[in-house]
């Protein structure tokens, strides 16, 4: 069958357009849902840096997506948004997928942002000048990003090994930025579990003493007895089944961001994130980034042992988790991240 010159040139033009924009609007027609709302608890945290990079570098737009990122005070609040239907996907801690299954709501993680929690349990030097061990925290006020968040789970886990029950301390939600700094300086809390850049800023002025630091992967693995993965993107299982192409596009963007961060210069990161993330100190933000980068995922893949590690950690503070019938294999899938890695090598 012969074709005219006009038809040939039209076909070539179309092929060229597809080649020039292989991950952009050319593939957008296959998306089941082009506008997506992602809930996150503390977007400015380096814990969620891949999400910010994916948005800042236009990776979501390259996939034909219109992504709205809704920021909340902590991980438990962002989870509530997804459960309540005001957001489609949660950028939060992996362990929520385990907890939610015990409540009859199946959530599934589909791309990883953090290989380790990056949370730091730190002591307030203003109120705990004679601190010697975690046992000294009995009866004290412990700051967390938000009640029920991964920061409180870590606090409970560390206190458990010091022989302290959650009921023997007072937990106070203090957020993740200037509010957390103010809580330390005003003596509102005697210790807290926080993330960077807050930790680095208070360390510079010697206002806190680090007790447990899971920014270091080896420390995290030893503490939890396996890979305790952190920030990920997860969604209701029903959403993933209904919108596999959309979920794939989001995973593509996050994997691209993971890989970019693994090689980026700190100065390049500063150009991507909003200036407000730096809390007025570019130098300290760079230090925070470098301290946390080893704990960020390089490929978006979730280790097979992660669900069991998360369940074991949760069980130390919630005995019901230990005996609960949980299909751990359903808490995550790597098929989207694996496909993204084939596309972005």
* Phi, psi for 253 (deg, rounded to 5): -65, -40
The tens place of each residue's pLDDT in the chain, 345 residues long, gives 444 444 433 443 334 333 333 444 434 559 999 999 999 998 988 999 999 999 999 999 999 999 999 998 777 889 999 999 999 999 999 999 999 999 999 999 999 999 999 999 999 999 999 999 999 999 999 999 888 777 888 898 899 889 999 999 999 999 888 899 999 999 999 999 998 889 998 999 999 999 999 999 999 998 889 999 999 999 999 999 999 999 999 999 999 999 999 999 999 999 999 988 887 889 999 999 999 999 999 999 999 999 999 999 888 777 889 889 999 999 999 999 999 999 998
Token output for 234: 């997860």
Torsion angle in degrees (nearest 10) through CA of 159, 77, 33, 69: -100
- Total Cβ atoms within 10 A of residue 143: 26
Give the pLDDT of residue 15.
Answer: 41
In sequence order, the β-bridge partners of residue 254 are: none
| Spatial separation of the C-alpha atoms in residues 275 and 281, rounded to whole Å | 9
Token output for 143: 């700051």
pTM of the prediction?
A: 0.83
| Spatial separation of the C-alpha atoms in residues 117 and 115, rounded to whole Å | 7
In sequence order, the β-bridge partners of residue 92 are: 232
Provide CB contacts within 8 A for 216, sequence distance 6+.
116, 294, 295
Pair 284, 204: CB distance under 8 Å: yes
Provide CB contacts within 8 A for 132, sequence distance 6+.
none
């Amino acid at each position: 069958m012969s074709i005219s010159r006009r038809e040939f040139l039209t076909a070539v033009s179309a092929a060229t357009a597809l080649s020039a924009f292989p991950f952009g609007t050319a593939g957008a027609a296959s998306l089941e849902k082009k506008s997506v709302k992602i809930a996150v608890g503390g977007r400015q945290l380096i814990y969620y840096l891949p999400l910010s990079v994916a948005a800042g570098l236009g990776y979501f737009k390259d996939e034909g997506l219109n992504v709205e990122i809704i920021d909340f005070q902590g991980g438990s609040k962002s989870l509530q948004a997804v459960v309540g239907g005001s957001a489609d996907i949660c950028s939060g801690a992996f362990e929520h997928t385990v907890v939610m299954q015990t409540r009859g709501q199946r959530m599934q993680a589909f791309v990883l942002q953090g290989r380790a929690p990056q949370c730091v349990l730190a002591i307030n030097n203003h109120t705990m000048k004679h601190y010697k061990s975690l046992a000294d925290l009995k009866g004290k006020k412990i700051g967390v990003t938000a009640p029920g968040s991964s920061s409180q789970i870590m606090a409970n886990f560390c206190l458990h090994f010091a022989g302290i029950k959650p009921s023997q301390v007072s937990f106070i939600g203090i957020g993740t930025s200037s509010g957390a700094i103010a809580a330390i300086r005003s003596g509102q809390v005697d210790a807290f579990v926080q993330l960077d850049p807050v930790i680095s800023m208070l360390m510079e002025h010697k206002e806190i003493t680090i007790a447990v630091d899971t920014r270091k992967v080896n420390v995290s693995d030893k503490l939890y007895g396996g890979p305790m993965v952190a920030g990920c993107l997860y969604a209701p299982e029903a959403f993933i089944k209904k919108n596999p192409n959309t979920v794939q596009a989001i995973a593509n963007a996050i994997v691209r961001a993971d890989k970019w961060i693994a090689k980026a210069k700190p100065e390049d990161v500063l150009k991507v994130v909003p200036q407000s993330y730096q809390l007025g100190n570019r130098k300290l933000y760079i230090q925070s980034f470098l301290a946390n980068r080893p704990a960020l995922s390089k490929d978006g893949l979730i280790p097979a042992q992660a669900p069991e590690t998360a369940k074991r950690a949760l069980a130390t503070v919630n005995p019901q988790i230990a005996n609960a019938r949980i299909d751990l294999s359903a808490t995550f899938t790597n098929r989207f991240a694996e496909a993204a890695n084939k596309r972005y090598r």
